[in-house]
Amino acid sequence: MENKNYQHLTRTFQRLSRFSHLSAIAGWDMFAMMPPGGSNARSEALAELGVLQHQILTDKQVGEWLRNAEQENLNDLEQANLREMARHYQQAALLPESLVEAKSLAGSRCEHAWRTQRPNNDWLGFAENLKEVVKLSREEARIRAQAKNCSPYDALLDIFEPDMTSARLDVLFGDLKSWLPELLTKAVEKQASKTLIAPQGPFPVEHQRQLGLEAMKRLGFDFNAGRLDVSAHPFCGGVPEDVRITTRYNEHDLLSALFGVIHETGHARYEQNLPRNWLGQPVSYARSTAIHESQSLFFEMQLARSDAFLQHLLPAVVAQFGPQSAFEASNFVAWNQRVKPGFIRIDADEVSYPAHVILRYEIERALIDGEIEVDDIPALWDEKMRHWLGLSTEGNYRDGCMQDIHWTDGGFGYFPSYTLGAMYAAQLMHAARNAMPDLESRIASGDFSTLFEWLRQNIWQHGSRFGTSQLIQQATGEDLNSRYFREHLTARYL
Q: Would you count residue 41 as binding a second copy (CB under 8 A)?
A: yes
Q: State which of residues 225, 333, 380, 391 lies at the interface with a second copy (CB under 8 A).
A: 225
Q: Pick left, alpha or beta for residue 165 (phi over 0 → left; psi -120 to 50 → alpha; otherwise beta).
A: beta
Instruction: Candidates 166, 296, 331, 408: give the one binding Zn ion (CB under 5 A).
Output: 296
Q: Give the nearest distance from C-beta 358 to Zn ion in angstroms.
A: 18
User: Of 51-59, 162-170, 212-220, 288-296, which part binds Zn ion (CB under 5 A)?
Assistant: 288-296
Q: Are 167 and 179 in contact (CB under 8 A)?
A: no
248 counts as binding a second copy under rule CB under 8 A? no
Q: Could you say which of 73, 75, 195, 224 contacts a second copy (CB under 8 A)?
A: 224
For 146-161, the DSSP string reads: HHHTS-HHHHHHHHH-
CB-based contacts of 39, cutoff 8 Å, min separation 6: 30
Q: Per rule CB under 8 A, is residue 25 in the interface with a second copy?
A: yes
Residue environment code for 426-455, b if the CB has 16+ CB neighbours within 10 A, otherwise e? bbbbbbbbeeeeebeeebeeeebeebbebb
Helix axes 97-117, 39-58, angle to 10 degrees: 150
Angle at the Cα of 298 from the Cα atoms of 296 and 299, rounded to 5 degrees: 65
213 binds a second copy per the rule CB under 8 A: no
Residues 6+ apart with CB under 8 A from 79: none
For a second copy, the closer of residues 36 and 437 by Cβ is: 36
- Report CA torsion sign: 323, 324, 329, 333: negative
Nearer to a second copy, 19 or 452 (CB): 19
What is the torsional sign of CA 60, 63, 65, 68? negative
Applying CB under 5 A, the span of 169-177, 294-302, 307-315, 354-362 interacting with Zn ion comes to: 294-302
Binding-site partner at residue 296 among Zn ion, a second copy, none, CB < 5 to 8 Å by type: Zn ion
Give whole-number Cα distances, 398 to 74, 118, 272, 348, 405, in Å: 53, 5, 36, 16, 12
- Rule CB under 8 A: say whether 38 interacts with a second copy: yes
DSSP E strands, 202-312:
226-230, 236-239, 242-247
Instruction: Pick from 1, 2, 35, 98 the residue near a second copy by CB under 8 A.
Output: 35
Q: Name which of 47 and 436 has its Cβ closer to a second copy.
A: 47
- For residue 279, the partner it binds in Zn ion, a second copy, none, with Cβ less than 5 to 8 A by kind, is a second copy
Backbone angles phi, psi at 395, to 5 degrees: 75, -10
Q: Pick one of Zn ion, a second copy, none as the site partner of residue 41 (Cβ within 5 to 8 A by kind).
A: a second copy
Determine, following the binding rule CB under 8 A, whether residue 44 of this chain makes contact with a second copy: yes
Q: How many CA atoms lie within 13 A of 264 on its CB side?
A: 26
Sole window of 199-207, 223-231, 289-297, 461-469 interacting with Zn ion (rule: CB under 5 A): 289-297
Residue 116 CB neighbours (<10 A)? 11
Question: Looking at beta carbons only, is 53 or 324 nearer to a second copy?
Answer: 53
Nearest CA to 388 among 153, 195, 188, 164?
A: 188
Q: Which of 223, 344, 371, 479 binds a second copy (CB under 8 A)?
A: 223
Whether 264 is catalytic is yes
Tell me if 23 contacts a second copy by CB under 8 A: yes
Instruction: Decide: 180 and 232 in contact? Cβ < 8 Å.
Output: no
Residue 230, helix vs strand vs coil: strand
Maximum distance among all alpha carbons in the chain?
Answer: 73
* Least Cβ distance, residue 293 to Zn ion (angstroms): 5
How many residues bind Zn ion (CB under 5 A)? The answer is 1
Please pick, among 78, 84, 140, 264, the residue that the annotation labels catalytic.
Answer: 264
255 near a second copy, rule: CB under 8 A:
no
Asked if residue 97 binds a second copy (CB under 8 A), the reply is: no
> Which partner from the list a second copy, Zn ion, none does 239 bind, CB cut-off 5 to 8 Å by kind?
a second copy
Q: Which is nearer to a second copy, 49 or 334 (CB)?
A: 49
Catalog residues that contact Zn ion under the rule CB under 5 A.
Answer: 296
Which residues are annotated as catalytic? 264
Catalog residues that contact a second copy under the rule CB under 8 A.
Answer: 15, 18-19, 21-23, 25-26, 29, 33-38, 40-42, 44-46, 48-49, 52, 222-227, 238-239, 241-242, 279
